[in-house]
Chains A and B, each alone.
Chain A
């Protein structure tokens, strides 16, 4: 009986964590015309409709593109940055670390507004380029953090051993460092992918005719149409994220790196 309050707390926590997810899944299964919970009857028609909405397809492709290539770009910048911060005693390394983490700390809405006001408009940058730059910058902290922590577990003398056996520093990095931080890089990729895909506040400012990320597109869709297809789409996206993390965990023990 003593364990009762603990079970209660656990139950409440799980309800708050998983509840919304379950509500969204079932709301999307509705047979009715309006978004409602509990659903009015059951059908898969809204899940099917998601795939027929033209703008969802375009914005999904854009979000996918940003999440994959923005994260790759962040890794291309972040891996060397993490390496330099770890291996060399750089002056002001702590400051650099803080600056790199800034996109996590600064509210996205401010990032978006200032980018629009002082970058996109005055320089006449295309929305697509602005989105790409923004998503790369927003993912960069994850790349640096996660790669840093797996570099921390890698002893520097392994690289020296490779150099003594004839490698240049670059070869040593490619042949010895990269294979040993592979898991960290993949973890950073997944985190970055999910963060980019779900990004709303900054992307909100960076949308133009026909150029919108999926979450923004869903918002504007809801302003006009209030049918359960948005719930169905949300559920599908949630399943995609869960699927990616599950696969990563099975293949690489993802949770070790996060």
Chain B
């Protein structure tokens, strides 16, 4: 790809003899917000540390803005990294934390002052200049870590699970904040998350990883609607995944006749894609919970448990009762493996 700003080419990353990430290829465009999504241990942090220069690849190449940086040390790469733990300097004030990197450059006092102030106001921390990190809330520390990286005007900003240490409400707030900062500065961002909702909400493109490899890469809309593997579908909320054998659906619990023709190896439905209250199949309701706009059922069928969301307009079916349902073709997602 010619418009790649960051390119990872056949990148292999290992810890001793253990290969954590084998032959990764990824192109990131300038100004893009990329999410590295995947379960814990799939190599997200490892990949990010390699881009930052904290981990030397055992083979492969990293280029940033047309320059091969594979052997360039971390302090000369011009990359920002916001650590999952924030890694703020506890002995320095908020102001000095933000000014830290600037003071290492040959800048005048006034310029450092101005840039630091600007950085702090970008993240809404005016007035907190003299606080020590320990005297700030989790959200404020997060902003401070962000400001400390942003004032360096890095070519790429990497964020490792930036929101995972925040409570749910703050997480939503900081999610919007990150998006705002990214749009304002136009900075190329790569952020790591294991939360699929976060990736969907924030990213321009999502890199779904599994065992150090890219499982699927696409826009949030693509990944949400068209996951191509069982792993991707499972991660994107297709909670009902069954194998097909001829014209039957099979699971290790049993089988049901399929109502339409399909050549796919696997078929998947979201709970919201399962039709409830009518249809060719029946099962016993084993769990029912109210989820605001809808009701979530677990139906024990000949295929094993099926998760289904029902409109609250349909009167509640109590646990133990029979419920008719359908796995329609219109909401089915065909998967390869």
Q: A155-B85, A157-B83, A171-B104 are in contact. Are A165 and B148 (CB under 8 A)?
A: yes
Bitwise, A136-170 to B at CB < 8 A (1) or not (0) is 00000000000000000001011011111111100
Least CB distance, A251 to chain B, in whole angstroms: 16
Task: Give chain B residues whose Cβ lies under 8 Å from the Cβ of A164.
Answer: 52-54, 74-75, 77, 79-81
Asked if B231 CB lies within 8 Å of chain A CBs, one says no
Among B87, B90, B101, contact of A160 (Cβ-Cβ < 8 Å): B87
Q: Is the interface of A mostly helix, strand, loop or mixed?
A: helix
- B87/A165 in contact, CB under 8 A: no
Within 8 A of A (CB), among B99-154: 100-101, 104-105, 148-149, 152
Asked if B89 CB lies within 8 Å of chain A CBs, one says yes
Task: Give chain B residues whose Cβ lies under 8 Å from the Cβ of A176.
Answer: 89
Asked if B91 CB lies within 8 Å of chain A CBs, one says yes
Asked if A179 CB lies within 8 Å of chain B CBs, one says yes
- B85/A165 in contact, CB under 8 A: no
Asked if A198 CB lies within 8 Å of chain B CBs, one says no
Q: Is the interface of B mostly helix, strand, loop or mixed?
A: loop
- B105/A161 in contact, CB under 8 A: no
Bitwise, B229-259 to A at CB < 8 A (1) or not (0) is 0000000000000000000000000000000
Q: How many residues of B contact A (CB 8 A)?
A: 23
Task: Give chain A residues whose Cβ lies under 8 Å from the Cβ of B83.
Answer: 157, 160-161
Least CB distance, A219 to chain B, in whole angstroms: 45
Q: A161-B81, A162-B100 are in contact. Are A180 and B90 (CB under 8 A)?
A: yes
Least CB distance, B1 to chain A, in whole angstroms: 27
- B105/A166 in contact, CB under 8 A: yes
Task: Give chain A residues whose Cβ lies under 8 Å from the Cβ of B101.
Answer: 165-166
Least CB distance, A7 to chain B, in whole angstroms: 41
Least CB distance, A57 to chain B, in whole angstroms: 41
**A175 CA to B75 CA, complexed, in Å:** 15
Least CB distance, A89 to chain B, in whole angstroms: 10
**A163 CA to B49 CA, complexed, in Å:** 12
Least CB distance, B53 to chain A, in whole angstroms: 8
Q: Which residue of A lies closest to B85 (CB)?
A: A157
A to B CB contacts below 8 Å, 22 in the list:
A155-B87, A157-B83, A157-B87, A158-B89, A158-B90, A160-B54, A160-B83, A160-B87, A161-B83, A161-B88, A161-B89, A162-B100, A163-B74, A164-B53, A165-B75, A165-B100, A165-B101, A166-B75, A166-B104, A166-B152, A167-B75, A180-B90
Please give 17 more A-B residue pairs, beta carbons under 8 A apart, in addition to A165-B100, A165-B152, A167-B104: A157-B87, A158-B87, A158-B89, A160-B54, A160-B74, A160-B87, A161-B83, A161-B89, A162-B100, A163-B74, A164-B52, A164-B75, A164-B80, A166-B101, A166-B152, A171-B104, A175-B100
